[in-house]
Structure 1
Amino acid sequence: MQPGSSSCASTISTPAPCAPIGRRLVNGTGSIFQRARMVCHCLLIETNDGLALVDTGIGLDDIANPPRLGPKWVRQTTPRLDPAETAVQQVKALGYSPSDVRHLLLTHLDRDHAGGIPDFPDAKVHVDRREHDMAVSHRTPAPKGRYITDQWKHGPQWAFYGEGGEDWFGFKGVRALGDREPDILMIPLPGHTLGHCGIAVRTKDKWLLHAGDAYFFHGQIEARPKMPLVLGLFQRRADMDRAMRIENQERLRTLKATQGDTVTIFSSHDPVDYERCRCGLVHP
């Protein structure tokens, strides 16, 4: 695709799972007696049509009523439920109003990515149509308990993607905001869920790719892939299509190897990826 206007992006971390004892088995470093660390990595973008937020993390309604996230999920992940860490409160801390966020670009609709949708009631919600079919309209059966439908019971305005698109480094990317913002793309990366997407954003002369849950650990897209044992088991259990997830991880690995100077790839929950971005790989 031809470059157009550049976007300005800020990286934030919303309330994240505080993994249990066993850091080496989750993060790949430290002691098995230390607590592991994970993040929920969101991206706030200044566009030609207001602010856009890539993923929303856990929202204020989730924190006010943790059981709606699912008692088993809360018990297993022990999320740090601090309202100050929600995306909406961090947007306010940056000097914006929630109404300034005009677009929510969702990698998928799992509870720790979509919980903040109600905190931005004026925003249009952009998702892959296959994700909406499974999570919202139920045209496709979803695994029991996978989605928290209360997170969109207020009836947001949806925008759907999934067909057509143009070439982006060998991927098919669909312009998320059309001609108003040609350099924000929805990139289909199914596997973790059937409608899972990455979000590509051009900043100046380079690109960011928020890969969502296409991978969980930074070592998975290295030339010699590696994955901590417990995190690998969790990822496999969460897969809707494991073969497709593995195929897309290989495509991301190739993208990093061939375009690593041009494209910065990061995932939703890896703290190493998050720190790299927070320390200057994105343009504040």
Structure 2
Amino acid sequence: MKIHHLNTGTMCPIGRRLVNGTGSLFQRARLVCHCLLVETNDGLALVDTGIGLGDIAERDRLGRRWLRQTAPKLDPAETAVQQVKALGFSPADVRHVLLTHLDRDHAGGVPDFPHAAIHVHRAEHDMAVLRKPAPPEGRYVTGQWSHGPRWAFYGEDGEDWFGFRGVRALGKQADVLMIPLAGHTLGHCGIAVRSGDTWLLHAGDSYFHHAQLDAAPRVPLMLGLFQRKGDMDRKMRIANQARLRALKQNHGDRVRIVNSHDPADYERCRCGAH
């Protein structure tokens, strides 16, 4: 199963040392929207969509405060749909979009793939789309799904995978799994893809910096504050992050873990075996 790594939205907030952990306080940091494009036996599957063409055309819907804090490039060439085309595929070849969650920098490209089924945890859909329960004010950009996508839902029932419960496969694709990792949002998930004898687990926003999965975890100050501010259930997010840390330590030879925004994770994948 071939996996393509895409950066679907570069963000450049101020304070590189406090965000990336290197460089000057006065340099711009670099964050990415790390998505996966997977060639499966049932067409293409896209894991997260990053920022979409509609977000770029109507940038104010992303929120002026979010734009000011993250300073995204908003480059149409970085959108998932344009990168799919650049790889020689048609957007219609994307049959499935699996979302770690529905935050604006993960679901922005959903309208760019109108033929795809949009897979999401039911708790995430209920809060973001149905507002049951009502989400924090301004958390979601409802215009990203106002066209009425074809949703496919996952719940808490499912199988076990390396100790993680409620894991569901993508239809008959046993090599693509949706893994509940609540905390950042109530329906946050990771997506695991098997390639040969190993797994790649896209853990979304379960952690923000690669050093958070080290035996002695650490995170740059500003990035840690941003992560904490975004938590819907901090206790659960910390617990799931600890489980990811244990997964890396105990099964790092079989499971490689990446997150959504760390450029170090993204660059290692681009240069690695996947």
Pick the TM interval, shorter chain. over 0.9
Partner of 2:56: 63
Give distance in 2, aligned partners of 1:281 and 1:267: 17
Instruction: List structure 1 segments (4+ residues) > 4 angstroms apart after TM superposition.
Output: none
In 2, distance between residues paired with 1:34 and 1:224? 27
**C-alpha displacement at 1:128, in angstroms?**
0.3
For 1:235-250, list aligned pairs within 5 A. Answer: 235-250=227-242
Q: Does structure 2 retain, via aligned residues, the 8 Å contact 1:26–1:228?
A: yes
1:178 and 2:164 aligned = no
Match of 1:116 among 109, 125, 147: 109
Q: 1:51 to 1:173 in 2, by over 3 A?
A: farther
The residue number in structure 2 matching 1:220 is 212
Residue-by-residue CA offset, 1:129-162 (whole Å, 9 max, x unaligned): 0000000111211000000000001100101102
> Which runs of 5 or more structure 1 residues have no equivalent in the other structure?
1-6
CA shift, 1:281, in A, is 3.4
Partner Cα distance (2:169, 2:125) in 1: 16
Give 1:4's aligned residue: none
* 2:162 equivalent among 159, 163, 169: 169
C-alpha distance in 2 between matches for 1:281 and 1:110: 29
Alignment match, 1:160: 153
Inter-partner Cα distance in structure 2 for 1:36 and 1:75: 13
| Separation in 2, partners of 1:228, 1:128 | 30
Indicate the SS of the match to 2:185.
Answer: coil
1:174 to partner: Cα distance? 2.9
Q: Post-superposition shift, 1:16?
A: 2.4
Q: Give the alignment partner of residue 91 of structure 2, picking from 95, 98, 103.
A: 98
Q: Indicate the SS of the match to 1:184.
A: strand
The Cα of 1:173 is off from its aligned counterpart by 4.8
Q: More relative contact order in 1 or in 2 (CA 8 Å, sep 6+)? A: 1
SS at 1:122 equivalent: coil
- TM-score normalised by L of structure 2: 0.98
* Alpha-carbon distance in 2 for matches of 1:38, 1:158: 29
Q: 2:114–2:149: 8 Å Cα contact kept in structure 1? A: yes
Tell me the residue number matched to 1:134. Answer: 127
Contact 2:156 / 2:180 at 8 angstroms: preserved in 1? no
Identity score, percent: 71
**Structure 2: distance between partners of 1:206 and 1:116:** 28
Q: Could you state the TM-score of these two structures normalised by the residue count of structure 1?
A: 0.95
Which residue is 1:46 aligned to? 39
Paired position in structure 2 for 1:232:
224
Q: CA RMSD in A?
A: 0.9
2:4 to 7, 10, 14: 10
Give the letter aligned to residue 136 of structure 1: V
Following superposition of structure 1 onto structure 2, how do residues 237-276 of structure 1 map, counting pairs within 5 Å? 237-276=229-268
For residues 86-135 of structure 1, what are the alpha-carbon distances to aligned partners after superposition, in whole Å with 9 as ceiling and x for unaligned?
Answer: 00000000000000000000000000000000000000000000000000
* Letter matched to residue 35 of structure 1: R
SS at match of 1:183: strand
CA–CA distance in structure 1, aligned partners of residues 160 and 127 of structure 2: 27
Equivalents in 2 of 1:45, 1:225: separation in Å? Answer: 30
Distance (Å, rounded) in 1 between the aligned partners of 2:264 and 2:9: 17
- 2-side partners of 1:35 and 1:231: how far apart? 13
